[in-house]
Each structure stands twice: as C-alpha cells, then as structure tokens.
Amino acid sequence: MLEIKNLHASVGDKKILNGINLQVNPGEVHAIMGPNGSGKSTLASVIAGKEEFEVKKGSIALEGEDLEELAPEERAHKGIFLSFQYPVEIPGVSVTNFMKTAINESRKARGLEDMPANQMLKLIREKSEMLEIDRKFLSRSLNEGFSGGEKKRNEIFQMAMMEPKLAILDETDSGLDIDALRIVANGVNKLRGGENAIIVITHYQRLLEYIVPDFVHVLHDGKIVKSGTKELALELEEKGYDWIKQETVV
Amino acid sequence: MDLKDKLLSSFIAFENNVDLDNPIHEVRSEAIKNFEEKGFPSKKEEAWKYTSLNNLQKVDFSVFPKQENTLEYRDIKKYFLHEIDTYKIVFIDGVYSSYLSETTHDGVDVCLMSAAFNKPMYKQIIELYFNKVASKDESLTTLNTAFSREGAYIYIPKNKAPRKPIQIIHFATGNEAALMLQPRNLIIAEENAEVQIIERHQSLTGNEVFTNSVTEIYAAKDAIVDFYKVQNDAKTASLVDNTYISQKDNSVVRVHTFSFGGKMTRNNLNFYQNGERIDSTLKGVTILGEKQHVDHHTLVHHAQPNCESHQDYKGIFGEKSTGVFNGKIIVDQIAQKTNAFQQNNNILLSDKATINTKPQLEIFADDVKCSHGCTIGQLDEDALFYLQSRGIPKKEATALLMYAFANNVLESVRIPELKKRINKIIANTLGVRVGFDL
C-alpha cells in the first residue's frame, strides 16, 4: 500500500529525514517510535504532503502511485489521513459543517455527487456514538476551546468519518486519559482489518497495548535504526532509547 | 473649475431652492464658510496621510442630479435585505423614491430629512439635535452640512421600538457621467427606545460616484441602537462616511462596518459618551482586492466614568489593495473606571497589499483599563495544511480560514438574515463555495 524508498527531507538547510525505507501492506499496523527530534512528526507530515518540507531524495508511493507532485488535498482524496498532534482551531466553522465539506470535497474529487443530507447525518450519528462524542460537541466550532483530549477524540472521529486507506496517527495518545485512550483505540481498531493500513507514531508503549502493532520501527536521526515486532516496543519501554542510540553509533 | 470651486458656486444655486427663512439656513451658511476656508483635506494633514482625495477633485461631478430617475424593484431587489420585512428609505441619485420606500409614522417616525426640515411639527427636534454632535470644523462634514437637504430621518420616542429593522439605501443610476451625493441622516432614539438600521450605498453602473455622507445618531438613556453599514459598492464608487454618535447613560450603540467594495472608502466613526455606564461597540470586517482602498478612522471619547468601548476590526488585503486603521481613544480625567478595548488584526495576501494601523490613546484618568493590539500577518500555514489534509482544496481552505478570522466580528450581528447575507458576500468576495452557508 505505502512504499517509502530512501526518503530524504529537509526544512530549509536542516536535514530531518536521512534515508527512510518503509513498506506498509494492506491490513498492517506499524508503530513508529523514537526519541524527541528523531523525525517522527516530520515523516507523518511529509507523507501527508506538507509543503514546508522539501523532499531531497527518494520517493513515497501509495498503491504504486508516486505522491511527489500531489497537493495535501489530493493525497487526502487518494485515502491518506493524518491525525494531527496539534489540531488547529477554526472559529465559526462547526465540526459538522467541516466534516460535510471535507467529505463532499473528497467525493467531488472522485466524481461523486454530494452525500445526501440524511446519509451524512446517519454517518455522523454512527461515528460520534462509536467515539462517545456528545451531539452538542458537533455543533461547536472546530477545536475551539476543546481540551487536549477532545481534540484528539475529534481527530479520530474525523478519521472514522473519512474511512481512509492509510491513517497516520501522530501522538494521538498525548493528552488522553485512560478512558479516552480506550475509546480512541476502539475507534482506531474499528478501521482495522481488511484493506486499511495504520501508522501509529508514539513515544510510549501505552497506546500500543490497545492498538497492537504488527511491526515496530525505531526512528533516530531521521533513519529507521531498528525494526521488529510488538516485543520491541516493550523492550524500548523498559530500556529507553539510549541503547539504540549507542548501537547505532557502533 | 475644480470641485471645491464648483461646490462653492453651486451653493448659491442651492440657496435659490431652499427656504432662506428656515433657521437651518444659518447653519448651512456657517458650514459653507468653514468649507470655503479649509477646502478638501490634503495628505499633509495627519488624519489624511494615507488617503488622498486628489483624484476625486479632478472629476467633473454633477452636484445636483438633472432629472428624476426611476428604477424597477426587480432589477435592484438583490441590494435589499429582502428575506425579511423592513422599513425602507430609498434614494435614487439623491432623490427620495416613494415607490421603493416604506416609511412610517405609526408610533415612530421613519421618514425623510426634507420633511423634518420643512414641517413645523419637527421644528423642535431639528433645533435640538440637528448638527449638534456633527463636527463644525471638519471640512467634509461642514460641506455636507452646507448642502444638507435630504436623507433619512428616524425618530424613536421613549419606550418605543419600530416593529422591524430599517434599511436606508442610496442608489446611483449612472445617468450622470459622474455624480456627487451628500446624504444627511438624523437618528434619534429616546429613552429606552430601540432601533436596528442597515445602510447601503449602491452604484448601478461603472460611472463615477462620490458620496460624502453625514449621519448623526443620538441614543438617550437606556436606548439601544444597532447600525450596520454594508459597503459593497461598485469599483468606481467612492465614499466618505462621517458618523457622529452621542450617547447618554446606560445606552448601547453598536456600529458594524462591512467593507468589501468601492474604490475609495473613508469611514470617520466618532463616539461621544456623555453619560455613565455606556456601552459603545465598533466592529468591522474589511476584505479588499485590486486597487481598493479603505480607511477606518475611529474615535471614542470617554467623557464620563464607568463606561465601556469595544473595538474589533479585521482586515484581509489582497492584490494591490490598501487599508488604514486609526483608532483614537480619549479618556477624560473624570472618566474613571473606563474599560476601553481596541483590536485590529490584518492579513496580507499579497506582497503588494498595504495596511497602515495606528492606535492613538490619550488617557487622562488613572483608574482605567485600556488595551489595544494590532497584528499584521499572513495566513497560518499550519492551519491551511490541516484543512488541505482533510481533502479541502487550497482555495476553499484559504476562504474558510479567512472566514474564521473574521468570524467574531459577525457574532454580534443581531439580524440573522443580515449575518447570512454578509457571509454570502464574504464567500463571493473570496470566490468560493464551501458546501454550507458560512
């Protein structure tokens, strides 16, 4: 599904990604872990198409199609979804209206008519119930005055609405208490299975107890320095990242 | 002959058509003297540093329309807020149009200045209020005073409120190659009265129009006045709007100015607080492109204790447009416990767009809360990326962000249909359809 080859990316003169190779197949969940500043969020943003980052070398392909020339919205139309670490506040635009616009823009790009209003309402009801989101919440301005946890839950609600092929969750666990974490993980697991793939970016093993990954990768200095199965996450939790850094130096 | 000379000689012709025995005539004569002495303001004056009237003075404006012109309602319906029932005071090329208007004398007076000037029953009120809060030495205001003859006259007696909002619309037909208009409005809300007014100037062709408007608003004790200025005129129309507001104890006056159109617009909005516990609100959304120019000059004079003022102006400037915000707040020594807030935020969408923003605070009291802030920036790239990553194309995403930016100015609009209309104008101005009514 997603194939990243020798990816180098920079902001201005600063190199952040230094040759990432990653293959994600349909149905798989990959966790990307690593210390602060290792390039995790940059990798997520580069896949989603943030223009601030310049791809210097290498390629990203979704289902065999190179993404390099595609704008962020075109990548979204192809089925890429990024759950933001810091979702942006949009005053005056309700969660519901925002979702309507997002879904219908994606449909338009695929040559489909707008989703009928009753179908949209049904979808909103179904997904908000799954994430235990209060109806009142949906008429509030997007992310405005939301707590950290509400913002993250809202991100996963958006993901559930858009049903992406590839979801990238950037530090979705930060700001969530244990109950919210369970609800959010449940929402993510509903997307799981079949053809969809998920990349979970996190500092901690905690989220991975609920969203169990098929593979774990450790990012350091803009490179994947170690890959393994879910046991690697446990090992990291126990030993920290220093041993990996040392291993890399050697 | 330049415009000033033309106006001065026109005044003599104007006098032939008005009642010279009316005491107003003396006010007009004084006013024309002041204008003759001062002339049009030039860029040498601090208050006009960024707004030039030079080009306008070279245009051969006709000062009085030569004929009465008519318009069909169906052709101009879209300029009215027609979704709701309203009183209407409509002028075509400066002349009152009775068949497009809907006035009333049922408990309140919603009618014409010409009537108020000439009928004995209004004499006392005219003497009490006319040209009392308007400046007697600002040259464009005195120019308007000199030629004051027509406009909207709204009088709301004690404890009354008209059943519906009032629209004041000035149409320019373009039957004159270039037309100068000088409407004069007088709005009085007596004790505990309430009124909502929407004002619009609309040129219907590409011919040049220059409007020099003066509005006086008096809000007595406990009165509430909402005044909405919809400035979405043709790109060949220029407007100088001089609005003077006098407020008494506990009154609330809110003026919203929506500036999207026109070639050159200058808003001189002046609030005088002559009582305690007064609330004055000044809000504006400005969205410009091409070579449009809008200059907001505001003044809030806190002259009594325990009053508040809230100013919030948002501007979005594209292409080669220019904007000015100059917000002056005066707090007299006696005006303790004043709360005065001022905010001016701007987004520049192009390298060639310009905004000049200046707060001007003159505070002589020591126990006051005054805050002011101005920002000039570009659109937030992170926010744009967020929206795009949800599949919303860049153009629509940009429009949504600009809408969000201007949103809190719209929150205080108390006529929902007007708010909807303004949102539509914003969406049109930004050239987008976002799939729901903004």
The torsion angles phi and psi of A209, rounded to 5 degrees, stand at: -70, -25
What percentage of chain A reaches a pLDDT higher than 70? 99
Residues of B in contact with A87 (CB under 8 A): 386
What is the reported pLDDT for A248? Answer: 66
Q: Is the per-residue pLDDT at A250 higher than 60?
A: no
- Flag if A100 and B435 touch (Cβ within 8 Å): yes
**Mean of the pLDDT values across residues B407-425?**
89
**Which domain, by its residues, includes A158?**
2-249
Q: Is the per-residue pLDDT at B36 higher than 80?
A: yes
SS (H, E, C) A124-142: HHHHHHHCCCCHHHHCCEE
- Flag if B391 and A105 touch (Cβ within 8 Å): yes
- Please name which of B298, B380, B383 lies closest in space to residue B344, comparing C-alpha atoms: B298
Burial of B159 (0-12, 13-18, 19+ CB in 10 A): exposed
Give the Cα separation of B146 and B133 in Å (integer).
15
* pTM of the full structure: 0.86
What percentage of chain B reaches a pLDDT higher than 90? 85
Helices A95-109 and B394-410 meet at what angle, rounded to 10?
160
Q: How far is B326 from chain A (nearest CA, A)?
A: 26
B46-58 residue pLDDT tens: 999 999 999 999 9
- Flag if B436 and A100 touch (Cβ within 8 Å): yes
What is the reported pLDDT for B424? Answer: 84
- Flag if B386 and A76 touch (Cβ within 8 Å): no
B146-164 residue pLDDT tens: 999 999 999 999 999 999 9
For residue B127, the surrounding DSSP H or E stretch is helix B123-129
A6-25 residue pLDDT tens: 999 999 999 999 999 999 99
| Model confidence band, residue B15 (pLDDT cutoffs 50, 70, 90) | confident
Q: How distant, in Å, are the alpha carbons of A22, A58, B393, B394 from that of A167?
A: 15, 21, 19, 21
- Flag if B400 and A90 touch (Cβ within 8 Å): yes
Q: How far is B308 from chain A (nearest CA, A)?
A: 25
What is the reported pLDDT for B427? Answer: 80
| CATH assignment of the domain containing A97 | 3.40.50.300
Best to test chain B binding among A47, A51, A70, A73 (most B CBs inside 10 Å)? A73
A26-64 residue pLDDT tens: 999 999 999 888 999 999 999 999 999 999 999 999 999
Residues of B in contact with A140 (CB under 8 A): none
Question: Out of B12-21, B320-329, B336-345, which region has the weakest mean confidence (pLDDT)?
Answer: B12-21
Contact in structure between A88 and B383 (CB atoms under 8 Å): yes
ipTM summary value: 0.95
What is the reported pLDDT for B16? Answer: 83
B392: contact with A, CB 8 A cutoff: yes
The first and second tokens of residue B184, run together, are 């004069």
- Flag if A72 and B400 touch (Cβ within 8 Å): no
**Mean of the pLDDT values across residues A68-75?**
95
Q: Is the per-residue pLDDT at A249 higher than 90?
A: no
B378: contact with A, CB 8 A cutoff: no
CB neighbour burial string for B245-282, b if at least 16 within 10 angstroms, e if fewer: bbbbbbbbbbbbbbbbbbbbbbbbbbbbbbbebbbbbb
| Model confidence band, residue A91 (pLDDT cutoffs 50, 70, 90) | confident
Residue of higher predicted confidence among A244 and B14 = B14
- Flag if A101 and B392 touch (Cβ within 8 Å): yes
What percentage of chain B reaches a pLDDT higher than 70? 98
**Are β-strands B152-156 and B109-112 bridged in parallel, bridged antiparallel, or unpaired?**
antiparallel
B266-314 residue pLDDT tens: 999 999 999 999 999 999 999 999 999 999 999 999 999 999 999 999 9
CA B180 to chain centre: 17
The torsion angles phi and psi of A5, rounded to 5 degrees, stand at: -125, 120
- Please name which of B380, B396, B378 lies closest in space to residue B388, comparing C-alpha atoms: B396
Q: Calculate the average pLDDT of chain A.
A: 92
What is the reported pLDDT for B437? Answer: 56
Q: How far is B420 from chain A (nearest CA, A)?
A: 13
Helices B416-430 and B394-410 meet at what angle, rounded to 10?
150
Give how many domains chain A has, as a whole number: 1
B185-206 residue pLDDT tens: 999 999 999 999 999 999 999 9
Q: How far is A204 from chain B (nearest CA, A)?
A: 25
Provide the greatest CA pair distance for chain B: 72
Beta-bridge mates of residue B344: B313, B374
Comparing alpha-carbon positions, the chain A residue that sits nearest to B385 is A50
**Are β-strands A223-228 and A215-220 bridged in parallel, bridged antiparallel, or unpaired?**
antiparallel
- In this structure, the dihedral spanned by the alpha carbons of residues A49, A198, A220 and A57, taken in order and rounded to 10 degrees, is -40
CB–CB contacts below 8 A, A to B: 86
Give the Cα separation of B266 and B144 in Å (integer).
15
Q: Calculate the average pLDDT of chain B.
A: 94
Q: How far is A230 from chain B (nearest CA, A)?
A: 29
The first and second tokens of residue A12, run together, are 């201005």
What is the reported pLDDT for A93? Answer: 86
Burial of B204 (0-12, 13-18, 19+ CB in 10 A): buried
Of B386, B408, B435, the CB nearest to A101: B435
- Flag if A73 and B407 touch (Cβ within 8 Å): no
Q: Give start and end residues of each alpha helix (H) in A110-222.
A: 117-130, 135-138, 148-162, 178-191, 206-210
Task: Name, in order, each residue with C-beta under 8 angstroms of B2's C-beta and a sequence gap of 6 or more.
Answer: B57, B58
What is the reported pLDDT for A241? Answer: 83
Helices B381-388 and B394-410 meet at what angle, rounded to 10?
120
- Flag if A88 and B386 touch (Cβ within 8 Å): yes
The full set of domain ranges for chain B reads 3-274, 379-438
What is the reported pLDDT for B199? Answer: 98
B381: contact with A, CB 8 A cutoff: yes
Q: Is the per-residue pLDDT at B399 higher than 90?
A: no
B88-101 residue pLDDT tens: 999 999 999 999 99
Q: How many residues does chain A have?
A: 250
